[in-house]
Amino acid sequence: AEGLTFHIFINHTHWDHIQGLPFFVPAYHPQNKFIFYSPFPDIEERIAGQQTGSYFPVAFKDMQCKKEFVHLEENSSYNIDSVKITNMEMYHPGRSFGYRISCNGRSVVYATDSEYKDLSSQGVGRYIEFFKETDLLIFDAQYSLGETIHKEDWGHSSSIIGIDIAVEAGVKQLALFH
């Protein structure tokens, strides 16, 4: 039987974003193929590192699926059939990337784990351009507005900032994350 192909775009490798992979049953099926995409040049080592013996009993190399790693240039686009995926670096400790996925005139932006330190028009301009008129923006809103002040440089945002940026960018629908 022919297996499935999974295209997985990694925005960053903090454990709250990658810890589910060792438990994802399709990764143990030898007919399945997993293609990991990321601007991190060491993405394979980062993914495999969470499954060393100190953290998990099954090594990443022992997951039977076929694995492939694609290094994306930062702030570039990549096509999979008719789907265009564009990445942009966000502000987050250890680095993080947002993804804009476009197909057939529709788009979704995944922009989690990002802090917006300079809320001036110039400071958020590149984000507004990246989010511009997307059908769905998935936005980091881990903190209240007050917490963003007390937790500066922790790499997260608030719903208030998300709403302001989404309105400015003409986003059609906003989903708050974290």
Q: What is the pLDDT along the chain (178 residues), one digit of tens a residue?
A: 689 999 999 999 999 999 999 999 999 999 999 999 999 999 999 999 999 999 999 999 999 999 999 999 999 999 999 999 999 999 999 999 999 999 999 999 999 999 999 999 999 999 999 999 999 999 999 999 999 989 999 999 999 999 999 999 999 999 999 8
Angle at 130 between CA 87 and CA 14, to 5 degrees: 45
Name the pTM for this structure. 0.93
The string over 55-67, giving b where at least 16 C-beta atoms fall within 10 Å of a residue's C-beta and e elsewhere, is: eeeeebeebebeb
Residue 26 to residue 8: CA distance in whole angstroms: 13
